[in-house]
Amino acid sequence: MAKDVLINIGAAEIRVAVVEDGRLQELFLQRLIGSDDGTVRRRGGPCGQSLIGNIILGRVQRVLPGMQAAFVDIGLDRAGFLGAREARCLAGLPAFEEERAPKIGDCVREGEEIIVQAVKDPIGDKGARLSANVTIPGRLLVMVPNQPGVALSRRIEDESERARLQALTKAMLAEANGALVPGAGYIVRSAATGAALSDLREDAERLAEAWRPVMEKRKQARAPVTLYHDLDPIERTMRDEVHAQTRRVLIDDNAAMQAALAYCRRAMPEAESKIELFSGPGTLFECYGIEDEIARLTEPRVPLPSGGWITIEATEALTTVDVNSGSFTEAAGLEETSLRVNLEAADEIGRQLCLRGIGGLVVADFIHLNEPENIQTVLDVLAASLSRDHTPTQISGMSEFGLVEITRKRVRDPLMKLMTECCHTCHGHGRNRTAESVALDIIRQVERTAAALPGKSIAVRAAPDVVRWLMVHEDDVRSGLARRGAPRVSFEPRAEFQREGFDVGTG
C-alpha cells in the first residue's frame, strides 16, 4: 500500500494529509491563530492547539462521589473531568491487570495537587477529559511512568511477534542499569514490529530523558501548570504517521522540513531519506487534489462509485448515515444492487468518520439485504474500513431493519464544528461556514497570490464579519503572511459580499 504524508505549513494553520493509494485517508489540522469562540481559553498559552498528551499539574476543585469523578483545575476556563477509572493509579491499583474501578474518594481529595494528562480536548460545554495514569509516547514504546508492567498494542496481531517483543521488552527492563525511569511500565507500539532489543532500548532511553525534566519542574511548580507538552505537529506526524509502508513525506516549508529531518536523526534515521521539500508547481494540496476534497467534508452527501451516495447528518445525540442507491440498478436483481451499494458505502463510512473527526454514536442505515452471507460481507468490509482508523471504534451486528451501530471515541470537536456554525436565520436547522474558516481560506489565497506575484501589494475585499475576524487577529495574521512572502496586504470590508464571498487581487 503506497502511503504519502503531506505537510502543508500555512500562515495560519498546519495541515497534515495522509494519502494511501491515491485516496485521502486522514486529515489533521492545527490552527496557529484564532479558535476564539469563547468556550475554551487557555490561560497564558496559544489558542487553537490541542491539549491531548499534555501533562499538567492540576488542583482538585471538587470531588463528586455521586458521579464517581472529580473536577480538576488545569488552567482553563473550565475544569477538567477526571473519572474514578482514570484516577485508579492514585489509589495504588495496578493498571494492566486489575479492571475494578476504585471509588473516587480513594484516589483524590479536594484541594490536592495531582499530575494528570489530557486525553480528550474540551468539546462544546465540556471540559478536557483527564487521566492520572500519564503516558509519554515514543516511536516504538509508550512509557507509563507510574505503573510497572509490559503491554502490547492490539494492532500487533502475529502471536509469535507478540511473544518476541514482550520478551525483548522484559530483557530491556532487566538490563536497564539506571538508564530508564525506575518502576515505569511500557506499551509496545505496532511500529515496533521487527525491532531489535537495541532499538527498544534507545527509544526507552529517549523517553526517560523526556520524563526527568517533568519531575524536576514538578518540584518547584504550583498548580495549575503544564509540565510537559506533546511534540509539535511536525514531530508528532513523523512519530505517529511515518512507517515502513510510507513512500515519502512531502513538506512545503523549508524550516518545517529541517525540523522533520532533525527529529528523524534523533529518533528514526531510517525515515530521513523519505522527506522531500515540495516547491511546486502549484500548492501541495492542490497538486494532490486535496483542497477540493477538504471543502467537501462539510457537505452531507458523499457520492459512491456506482452512482449511489451516503448522507451524513449529525444530531445532538448521534450521527446518522443513510445509504441510498440513487438510480443505480444491477442487472442481476435487487439483492445484487443492494449488496454492491452497501459494500461501497461500508468502505466509505470508515474513511469519512475518520476524515470528519466524527465521534460518539453513529447509526448507519444500510439498504435492506435478505441473504445472511451478504449481510456478513457488508459487516466485514465495514470492519476493515474502520480498522484503518487510529481512534478506537466498535460496531454492532446489523438489525432486521438494516441498522448498524458504530461507536467511535470522541477525542476532539468534529471538522463540521470547527469549520461551520449554526445558521441563525433558520434557527439552527442548517449550518454556515464560520467567519474564521472563510478567513483561513482568504489567508491561503493571499499566500498563493504572493507566490505567483512576488513583491506585489495584495488587496483583500471580503464580508465585514470576516474582515473583523482578520483585524482582531491582525498581528498574528500579518506576521504569518510576512513569513510566507506576503508582507503587504490590505483588508477592506465590503457590505455587498456574503460571508463566503471574497476577492483577492493586487493593490
The per-residue pLDDT for 38 is: 33
| Residues forming a β-bridge with 314 | 319
What cell was used for 128? 478536557
SS3 235: helix
Buried b (16+ CB within 10 A) or exposed e, 292-320: eebeebbeeebebebebbbebebeeeebb
The per-residue pLDDT for 415 is: 87
| Residues forming a β-bridge with 16 | 7, 28
pTM for the full predicted model: 0.83
Rounded to whole angstroms, what are the CA distances from 314 to 120, 125, 296, 406, 422? Answer: 20, 17, 16, 14, 12
Closest CA to 80 of 127, 38, 126: 127
The per-residue pLDDT for 421 is: 81
Q: What is the mean pLDDT of residues 188-205?
A: 93
Across 21-155, the runs of DSSP E, i.e. the strands, are: 23-31, 55-64, 69-73, 80-83, 113-120, 129-131, 136-137, 141-144, 150-152
Q: pLDDT tens, 11-52?
A: 999 999 999 988 999 999 988 886 543 333 333 333 346 888
Q: What is the mean pLDDT of residues 294-311?
A: 92
The per-residue pLDDT for 168 is: 95
The per-residue pLDDT for 333 is: 81
Q: Annotate 172-213 with three-state secondary structure.
A: HHHCCCCCCCCCCEEEECHHHCCCCHHHHHHHHHHHHHHHHH
SS3 463: coil
Place of cell 474500513: 385
Residue 302 has pLDDT above 60, yes or no: yes
Q: pLDDT tens, 85-121?
A: 899 888 865 544 455 668 899 899 999 999 999 998 8
The per-residue pLDDT for 426 is: 58
Closest CA to 56 of 40, 24, 80, 92: 80
The per-residue pLDDT for 327 is: 77
Axis crossing angle, helix 233-241 with helix 254-267, rounded to the nearest 10: 50
Q: What is the mean pLDDT of residues 324-352?
A: 88
Q: Annotate 297-339 with three-state secondary structure.
A: CCCCEEECCCCCEEEEEECCCCEEEEEECCCCCCCCCHHHHHH
The per-residue pLDDT for 39 is: 32
Q: What is the mean pLDDT of the chain?
A: 89
Distance separating alpha carbons of residues 136 and 138, to the nearest angstrom? 7
The per-residue pLDDT for 101 is: 66
Residue 460 has pLDDT above 70, yes or no: yes
Rounded to whole angstroms, what are the CA distances from 315 to 351, 384, 496? Answer: 20, 26, 33
The per-residue pLDDT for 163 is: 95
C-alpha 268 chain-centroid distance: 22
The per-residue pLDDT for 280 is: 80
For residue 21, give every residue at least 6 positions away whose Cβ sits within 8 Å of its Cβ, in sequence order, or none: 1, 2
The C-alpha angle 208, 211, 212, rounded to 5 degrees, equals 90
Amino acid at 333: G
Q: pLDDT tens, 463-474?
A: 999 999 999 999
Higher pLDDT, 461 or 244: 461
Closest CA to 319 of 367, 368, 354: 354
Q: Would residue 437 be called left, alpha or beta, if left means φ above 0 and alpha means ψ between -120 and 50 degrees? A: alpha
Q: Would residue 138 be called left, alpha or beta, if left means φ above 0 and alpha means ψ between -120 and 50 degrees? A: beta
Distance separating alpha carbons of residues 344 and 53, to the nearest angstrom? 35
pLDDT band per the 50, 70, 90 thresholds, residue 418: confident
Q: pLDDT tens, 355-400?
A: 999 999 999 999 999 999 999 999 999 999 998 888 889 999 999 8
Please report which helix (H) or strand (E) contains residue 355, including its range.
helix 334-356
Q: For residues 475, 480, 483 and 484, what is the CA-based torsion angle, rounded to 10 degrees?
A: -140
Q: Which domains does the chain have, with CATH numbers?
A: 3-33+248-286 (3.30.420.40), 55-228 (2.40.50.140), 297-415 (no CATH), 442-506 (3.40.1260.20)
Residue 331 has pLDDT above 70, yes or no: no
The per-residue pLDDT for 41 is: 36
Q: pLDDT tens, 152-164?
A: 998 898 999 999 9
The per-residue pLDDT for 281 is: 85
Residue 432 has pLDDT above 90, yes or no: no
Q: What is the mean pLDDT of residues 279-299?
A: 89
Would you tell me how many other CB atoms lie within 10 Å of the CB of residue 469? 24
Residue 316 has pLDDT above 70, yes or no: yes
The C-alpha angle 426, 296, 319, rounded to 5 degrees, equals 60
Q: What is the mean pLDDT of residues 331-350?
A: 90
pLDDT band per the 50, 70, 90 thresholds, residue 309: very high
